[in-house]
Structure formats: C-alpha cells, structure tokens
Structure 1
C-alpha cells in the first residue's frame, strides 16, 4: 500500500490553511503518487500456512532499503555505507614487483584481479564478491573468473595497483588516533557493527524513491505492479489521507455523495434571516447561482461598479468573511457554493483534474454540497510517517526497535468510513 510522506503532507496542509479553499481528495492522492519523493510504500510478507513461520524482510536502517534475504542486506551495508563511517583516501604507491606471467579477470565485470601468485589476490576476490556479487555463492563467483596469459594485461594490472585506498574511522575510540585500514579491514569492522544497522520484520515502510531501486527483481516487480494499480485509482492513498487530515483538524465533505473534498474551514451554514443586508444579498445570489467566482459575484451584484469603490470593497469583504468562517465554500478552482444541502455547482467534472484544466463553472452540472463536521483532538498532530501506518497492539514489535512503529495502515478505521457515509 501507499502512504503520504509526512513532511510533504504538512507543507500541503499549510498551503490549504492559507488558501481556505476546498480541494478534491482524489486529486491530492494522485499528486502524491505522481512524485516518488512524496509517498511511502508499505511492504508486507503474506501470512504463512498454519504451522509455518512467517517470512520476514530485512531493512537497512541507514537508507531504509529493503531486501528479502539478510545476506544481501549485509552486503549492501558493507558496500554502500563505508563512507558514512570512514574517511576514504587514495594515495600513490610503487607498482607490485615480481615476475607475473598471467593475470585473473572477473568474467562478470571484466575487472583485472591480479596474478594468482600475488599476495593480495585472494583479498581482492573477497572484496569484489562481497561488494558486488554477494547474491551469488562464492563458488559460483569463482567459476566466473578467467586466467589470461597476456603481458600487456599484466602491465595494465600493475599500473592499476599504483593507487592504494586507505580507510580511517571518522569517530575512532576516545583517546586513540584513527588507524590506516585496508578495504578488507574496514569491511570487517562494518560487519562487526551490522546488527544495529539492520531490522527484520514481516512489514517495512520504504520511501517512494527507494522503492524503485531494489536489487531484488521480485520486490521491484511487486512494487511496479502495485503502483500501476494505484495510478488507475489511488485507493490506499485516499484511505490513508482521510485520517491524516482529520488528525490535522481538517474537514471532509462530499459533493453529490460521490466526490470527497478537504478543507481547513469547517462548513457552517449562515441563517439568512439574521444576517446583514449585504450578506443576505450574497447568500441569496449564490443559492440561485452556484458555481461562480468572486469576481462574477461582484460583477452581477454590483454591475458597472469600480472594483476599487467602497461598495465593491464592502461586498468582497463580506464575501471573504463568509469564506473564512465557512458560510461559503470556495473550491480549489475558485468557484463558490453554500454548505449543507443548498444548491451549488462547484465544477464537479474538474474534480479529478488539476485546477489549471478546470472548465468554466457555467458549463458544469449542479451539485448538492453536504459538509460533514468532524471534531479532532485539540492536540492532534501528525508527528511521523509511521503514524499513518501503526501496527495493532497484538502485533506491536519490541520497544527496543523504535523504527518498527511504521506498520499497520489506518485505512480500515471507522472514521475513514464515516466520511464515505456522511449524509
């Protein structure tokens, strides 16, 4: 399933509050899905047959990449995160001395590994296998090596050995200087710390961009299939956004009992009988002519009036106050409607399109706008991405695994269903 990224959602919420407009939930979900940096992907292993243990995924806590097999995850940590713990420096040294008749070459990468009788040969094989081909058994990898008798290649290998890579710990033990280590020694240090860099769980949450970079073909295919299905209709994102918006004190309502909209302003119908003359004039006109913009209201109620005149300013001020307090709903495309059962026409056919593609309101069919008001806790905030996908108590992971909180989706909550059934 797919979840909105917390930081992106918070930025979007700020824009929605500032604009005081109502936005289509389906369009919001589609825009999240269109950009990998705006969504998260929840991966979950299937439930096992009775009597069998459930399979787990292995996640790197440094970059959140996920693997089906732990040995692949360990190879990834050693290969891709050395620079987070070590200062890496290249120096020039003398080329290897001695008589070498042959040189070994990797049949997969074409890289020269050195003569079999050179002291660094086995170390170089171990380094290349563990960093690039750990998904293969070592025996299978060794079978891909070829020995070549070529003087030019031997000289080429000697030149490549002029460069020596030195690794120094960025944070050595207190009171000690960082020693110079070879790559093999640095990798061995990484392996000694690897337990704290990985987490195994039946379910993991991965950043959208990371979900497209899996080395595992099966995981990559599963995410691709799910994304294609979600792109046709972003159901899981819609269901995750509903409770998230409620937590942030937003309000959901429907148009034509079909399209769900989100707004920071709770729709609140105004009693016309107790309103001022200008407010009654605006409300009566919108009730008879829903789906028009602020400028159209001004042009029709104050025909020929100078937009800078006192009369025009008074009308627009009252209209702005009505929008700010929920007496009038202003939609994402600038069209206006009255809440709760009043006749309106908020460009319904443009709901699934971006605002720039919206058709003129005059071309749209009328729709009934009904607002559902939902009280949110006063201290409710979305603190983490994981808050959108929290595990049920019986499946909660141990307290010493803080990142394991990002688990079960809130999509099945009764609150998420109430918005769909609002009268």
Structure 2
C-alpha cells in the first residue's frame, strides 16, 4: 500500500487568486506549508501493489476498507444504510410466558431477555456485533449478568412492546422483517456490489473522517501526512504543474523557487516613468534592502503618513509588471537594472601589472615515442616469398615457421627455381 499527498487544485486556485490580489511573491516552500495547513487543501492518493488484493471503496461516501467485513460494518453504522433500507418502530404484544430470570448486558445495560427465550442468542450476537465487535464473543458473553425478580422481567417486557423492523426501500409490506440478521445477509449477498467497488488506486479528499477509513489505511495516512509536513518540498513539483495550469509564473532567485504575479522584469537604465513610479524606483535603487513601510516614509510628501490610492495603484503596477518584487515579509527588491538593447556597457580597464605583462610560458610537450609498425601476416608472407636463398637461411622464430609453410606450398620463388 502506498499513500501519497497531492495539493488540491481548488486550494491552489485560491492561493493564485490571493497572489494576484496582493501582488506579493511567495516561496514555493511556503506555499506547500500553506496547502498542508488544512486537510481540505490536499488529496490522498492510494495505490495497491499487484501482490495483494484490491481495496473496497464506497460509491456513496468514498469510504475505503481492506476487508468486506469492515465495509459491511461501516455500512450499517453510516447514513448510507438509510438510503438502501428503511426501518420503523412499531408496537407489538410482549412475549407471553413464565419468565423468572432475565439476562442483561454487563457493559451497555441493554436487556437481552431470558436465557430460555427463543430470540436470546440472536439478540446476544446482534448486540455484540453492533457495539462490541472488537471484543471476542466469549469474553463478551462472560460479562453478561442475570437478574431475578418481577421488576427485571417487567422492564424487559416493556422493551419488547416496541420492536424495530426492516425492509428494502420501496419493497412491499410483505418484505418487513424483525430479524436484523436476515437483512444483513440480504445486503452482503445481493446489494454489496451496489455500494462498494474493488479498486487498486483511488483519490479522495484529505478531510475524510477517520471513521470512514480502515484502521490499516488510517495508519498509512497518518504516516504520509507526518512525512509531508516534515518535508514539504516533496509537493513542489506538483505545485509547479498546478501553478502553470493557472498561468502563474514560477522563477528561481538565489537558488530558491518563487511564484508571484510576474517574473522579474528589470527596467532599463534609460526607462522613462511617471513621477510617482520613478520616485519609488530611484528610492529602491538607493536602498537595496528595504521594507514596505520604509518605502512610504522615504517617498511620501512631508506630513503624509498613509499612501493614497494613486500611490498604491502605481506600486501595484510596478509589482504586476515585475519591475519591483514585494515578498511575503514586506521586503522590497528592485531587480538589477539593465542597459538598453543595442548598447554595450562600458567596462573599466584594470591597470596593467607586472604579472599581467609576463607572457605565459607554454608547456613543452614531451616527444612521443615513434609508433612501431607491426607487420601483418599478409606482409610477412609477401616478404618471405620474395627472399633469396641466403636470406631464407638466416630466418629465425616465427619467420622460420612461415618459411617452412611456404616451402611446402611452393610459394617461395627462389626455392622453386632451384628445384
């Protein structure tokens, strides 16, 4: 089982809307932490290996379970059961007979009935299945206590005057049944596939209630959530893809990824701006590390403490064009201004030094050893076949072997002439 966390597209859309509204630059690491702050802001993706069986997903409430027993138990405790089955409480005549002892649940206090009553075992197992299924039946049965007396019998008879019956929704009056086990068997054998489906991968909302997940799946979700909160950077690739779908720019600055209303777009040195934007740009150029409050103190006229709408509109224009960056901590950054196109920036020549005047000595390359040509077999055969008898007698080693072979084949011209 593999559980991974992915940001919800709806939550990313709200983040993008906020970024466009405030025109601020946020680190993608901070965006990941914002998306992990609420469970409704991300989705849970489940993937099951082929080595194990599939998981069961409800078509009604997206609950997920590992076994059929867990799914059935959840169905009867969820509101979804009322969509498929209906129940009603009716008044009936209490059982007739001479009862002396009445059994009662030792934990919930519910009356179970006399041990000799025909529905006692059915009631006992129903209460165990509905309320104490996590306890072995033998342990639960050992905690049942019996009470004697007319008061206990009358209390049980009073509960039997009202009984609950069930039927499939929309069925006729003859389909009513007082036996809950019969209804449960009908769902397990005939209606189960209408509510649950077998899947090997699924995606659900992160704010799913814990009661709608199998205990094993809930443990996997908690491990994945804890890992994601400790390492939010694992969400950044998915966040980048979702931001691109929202047409929001992503750029890198000082080795970190950021997103904002626009990419940094430096102004040229000869750019002509209006009075207010020009004043803000010149002040930021003179004060590289500044906060938003410092900017207003530096550019606003004397006696003015709060910027007017025209100042805010001009700053918003600079931010949306990428000429100025406003980060989440109110720090302002003016991207380094560039020279106009077609002009080369003047560079000051460094004064000549003695070390610069010295020419670099070229390293002398070591002479390479001459390549030794290794004669091929064809060349050896050709050379030996043309030798005189005197030279043939002076051959040694491999050449001597080649001479003997060539003599047997009659390939040496001088030997053939002598014969």
Question: Which residue of structure 2 aligns with residue 4 of structure 1?
Answer: 7
Q: State the partner residue of 1:382.
A: none
Taking a change above 3 Å as real, the CA distance of residues 317 and 56 of structure 1, as seen in their structure-2 partners, is same
Please give the alpha-carbon distance, in whole angstroms, between the structure 1 residues aligned to 2:284 and 2:217. 53
- Give the Cα separation in 2 of the matches to 1:272 and 1:96: 99
Which runs of structure 2 are paired with 1:180-195 in the superposition (5 Å)? 180=176, 182=178, 183-184=180-181, 186-188=183-185, 190-191=187-188, 192-195=190-193
Change (3 A) 1:16 1:314: closer
Residue 266 (structure 2) aligned to one of 251, 269, 279: 269
Structure 2: segments with no counterpart, 5+ residues: 339-419
**Structure 1 residues 273-312: Cα deviation after superposition (integer angstroms, max 9, x where no partner):** 2332533443233234245344432321234153689xx6
SS at match of 1:113: strand
Tell me: CA distance 1:248–1:314, structure 2 relative to 1, closer, same or farther (3 Å).
closer
Equivalenced residue count is 328
Residue by residue over 1:182-215, the C-alpha shift from the partner in whole angstroms, topping out at 9 and shown as x without a partner, is 4445545543222132222333334333364466
Partner of 2:330: 334
Aligned to 2:408: none
TM-score (normalised: structure 2): 0.64
| Whole-angstrom CA distance in 2 between matches of 1:29 and 1:200 | 32
Between 1:204-213 and 1:189-198, the stretch displaced more is 204-213
Structure with higher Rg: it is 2
Q: Is the 8 A contact 2:248 2:260 kept in 1?
A: yes
Q: What is the deviation of 1:226?
A: 2.7
Asked if the contact 2:267–2:337 (Cα under 8 Å) also holds between the matched residues in 1, the reply is: no
Match of 1:83 in 2: 82
Unaligned runs of 5+ in 1: 343-423
Pairing of 1:18-417 with structure 2 (within 5 A): 18-45=21-48, 47=49, 53-80=51-78, 81-105=80-104, 111-125=110-124, 127-128=126-127, 130-132=129-131, 141=137, 144-146=140-142, 148-151=145-148, 153-167=152-166, 172=170, 180=176, 182=178, 183-184=180-181, 186-188=183-185, 190-191=187-188, 192-210=190-208, 212-213=210-211, 216-258=214-256, 260-278=257-275, 279-304=277-302, 306=304, 314-339=310-335
What's the TM-score once normalised by structure 1's chain length? 0.64
Cα drift, residue 257 of structure 1: 0.8
